[in-house]
Amino acid sequence: MSERAPSRFAGVAWTGEGYQVEVLDGAGHRVVGPSGWAAGRVPELIAWLRELSGGQGLAVVLDSTNGLLDGPLTAAGLDVYRADPWLLPPRPRFGSVPAERLARTPLGSLARVTAEGGSLTGRAEEYHEAVRRGAPIQAAMTAAGRCFEHGPRDTPKVALTFDDGPDPVHTGEVLAILARYGARATFFCVGHHVAALPDEVRRIADAGHELGNHSWSHPFLPDLTPEQLVEQLDRTTEAVARVTGEAPTRFRPPYGGLSPEVLATLADHPSELTMFDVDSRDWTRPGPERIAANVLGGVRPGSVVLMHEGAGDRGQTVRALPSIIEGLLERGLEPVTVGELPAPRPDH
């Protein structure tokens, strides 16, 4: 990332159609006219922002309901900042605050996002406290069959799952590897990408894999109102159903970000909350060997494995996948969808 003080500020807002961008200078004047970008044009958007940053210094400002861009933006060397809810006016039911408002948020009040910390840089303590408070509720939902974390430990099967897609490059690569081994998996898709890349969603479904719901814009769920959370889920379900003819029944929360308030909303929603018990940590991009080791070192019969194939460069995950599948097969563990894992029995 650049160390120069930024003299330009790009607010990037998300909508149901894509992204809206406003770029202002230090005096609050527009550098260029407002622009709109379809969700499938993220590489072009990044290239445009990089060109604007050249020699001037550019701060790209997102809000905490936009968890799809920080990874690609930071990987491209751009300076990314997050505006948290207490700095902003109320959001609409669906979408972020206007791009101009994001661009005008005082830089000193913003959190600078790092590749290591991801979207929630600086909010890890808050995140873990919310999960801790919600743990008893989540446990009760699991016991009642409303939350799935893993299958029985005597079942020689493992569910491979991929979040944040579809992706124009990596989804096809993952599907080709799965087909090579006759393996099945579950893809938790974000609505933003489903709307932009319907053909990739059809490829997943046509190959016999399971589709799940991963929200529309990958927000930090505790920052949403109950109405905003339900809108994120329902719009994504509708988008997948329009493409495949079948509505997904499973929902995985972005970042695994749960709180008692979020869980109360999910308890009244028809989706089945679907978590994981093995985290590949591939989003940190530690290298293919480390990703494979994280999976194979933690996996057990009945495990649900978290990986990613969208919202950034997932080449390391793609390169790790053959070793992961071969390691599972060597242990007699069949890679399957979450839906093919039986529910754990009370004594497990």
Q: Which residues are catalytic?
A: 163, 308
Half-sphere exposure of residue 157: CA atoms within 13 angstroms, side-chain side: 17
Element (H, E) at 238: helix 226-244
Considering only CA atoms, which of 166, 272, 263 is closest in space to residue 224?
A: 263
Cβ-Cβ contacts under 8 Å for 241 (sequence gap 6 or more): 247, 248
Considering only CA atoms, which of 37, 85, 31 is closest in space to residue 58?
A: 31
Q: What are phi and psi of 16, to 5 degrees?
A: -65, -20
Provide the Cα torsion 174, 313, 24, 81; round to 10°.
110
Q: Quick check: 320 and 306 in contact, CB under 8 A?
A: no
**DSSP label of 97:** S
Burial 180-189 (b: 16+ CB within 10 A, else e): eeebbbbbbb
Report the interhelical angle of 226-244 vs 260-267 (nearest 10°): 50
Question: CA 294 to CA 311: how far, in whole Å?
Answer: 21
Question: CA 47 to CA 138: how far, in whole Å?
Answer: 42
- Token pair, residue 341, equals 């894992």
